[in-house]
Amino acid sequence: MADKVSITPRVFLARHGQTEWTKSGRYTGTTEINLTDVGRQQVLGTSRVVVGTGNLIDPAKLGQVFMSPRNRAQQTFDLLFGEAQAKALTVDNKVKTVNELAEWDYGAYEGLLTSEILARRRGQGLDQWNIWEDGCENGEYEGASS
């Protein structure tokens, strides 16, 4: 049974570490924000536990890595796998940067807090905001994102 489990295809999702905007609660989509020191430590801590030979994510057994084109995603990949392993995966053509994995385009709401978005909408005569129903002014709305 263990052999079957080890060959079963799996998908792992990793979110980038902390940025200044995730720390402050600002909506971050297309803006290039780097990881904070805390964000880098978060990724390195995850890497030590999850990535490596015999660990949950064994780089030698990866078939493909897909990542967002955002700097924070690229930094997370590099930290998660370490310089040598990230380079080896790239050289082996196992890494693909995919635009469709980029975060939501918040348009005019990019970099704002929820309270700022609600105040802006109130000024436009709109009293609520549900991202899935209302979308983002000059940005994406549910059904339009990749």
Catalytically annotated residues? 16, 103
End-to-end CA distance of the chain, in Å?
A: 38
Q: Who contacts 21 (Cβ-Cβ below 8 Å, separation ≥6)?
A: 27, 28, 31, 33, 111
* Phi, psi angle pair for 62, to nearest 5°: -75, 135
Question: Between helices 71-91 and 37-50, what is the axis angle to 10°?
Answer: 40
